[in-house]
Amino acid sequence: MAFNVVLQTTTSEKNRMDKTITDIATYSGTLRADTSIVDPVFLIECDLTSVVNANYLTVQAFGRSYFINNIRSMRAGLVEFSCHCDVLSSFKAQIRQNHAIMHRSERNWNLYLNDGSLKVKQNPSITTHKFAETFYGVYSYVLILAG
């Protein structure tokens, strides 16, 4: 089965679902040995210097994108790419169809939930405020007489 391997570069965070990806080169090949589609190893005939910036690849036939964990030069013109599936990006459309209870969020939060995430300094702020009225300087004598 022939399929295409697209070598790519991403500068996005590993935990970002929608990664910014730049294609470097596309190679066509076939499966020649046992391989995992979760942690595949690809041998590609290419110039090492032209692919050293690749850190990501996509195999459309597998329906997955991969992080390149290691690049090994096997011999001149033959480079081995050890990969691991980027499950977030590969299945992002299906993941987004789910609901979840969010523990923490960047944009939808409730700060009245006390999870201890807000750190407080040891020195608190102490303020005082007087009520408007006072007993100061005000008094009356009270004389109580029988009868």
Partner 1 sequence: MAQQNTGLGWSAEQNYLVQSAAAEVAEIPAHIGGSSFPGQPLPVATTRLDVITNGFLLYEKTGLDNLRHKYYVASNTAGAILVADMGSAPASSFVMYRCVTNINGARYYMADSADPDYFYEADLSTSVGSGFYSTPGNEATSGGGSDYALNPQLPAFPDINSFIAAIETAAPTPITKTNAGYCVACYAQWYTQNGTELHSPILISSDSEFTEMSGPSGYNLATFNKLLSGLRFYMSFWDIPAAETLESSAPTVDLRQNGNLTLEQVFMYIVSTSYAHVIIINSPDPYEQEGGDGEEDGGDGEETGDDDAGIEAGSDFPSAINTGFCRIFSPSESELRNLSNYLWSSNYDLAQVKKLFSNPMDSILGLSAVPIRLLGSSVSFSLGGVPITGMTLPLVTKQRYTYHMGSITIKERWGSYLDYDPYTKFSIFLPFIGMRELAADDIMGKTVSLVYDIDILTGMCVARLQAGTNCLYEWGGNCAIQLPVNSRNWDSVFSTAVSAVGGIVSAVTGGSAPLVAGSVASAALQTVSMKPRIDKSSTIGGAAGWLGQMTPYIIRTTPEAFIPTDQNKFIGYPAYINVALNSISGYNEVESIHLENVTATGTELEEIESILKGGVIF
Residues 25-64 that bind partner 1 (CB under 8 A): 38, 63
Tracing tokens 């076939």 back to the chain, one arrives at 30
Distances (CA, A) of 106 to 102, 109, 110: 10, 7, 11
Handedness of CA 6, 69, 82, 18 (dihedral sign): negative
Nearest-approach distance from CB 54 to partner 1, in angstroms: 22
The answer to whether the beta carbons of residues 55 and 7 sit under 8 Å apart is: no
Amino acid at 138: V
A 10 A CB-CB count for 132 gives 4
Residue 75 or 131 having the CB closest to partner 1: 131
- Using CB under 8 A as the binding rule, whether residue 20 contacts partner 1 is answered as no
- Using CB under 8 A as the binding rule, whether residue 108 contacts partner 1 is answered as yes
Residue 27 or 62 having the CB closest to partner 1: 62
Residue 28 or 114 having the CB closest to partner 1: 114
Residues near partner 1 (CB under 8 A) are 13, 15-18, 38, 63, 85, 87-88, 90-91, 94-147
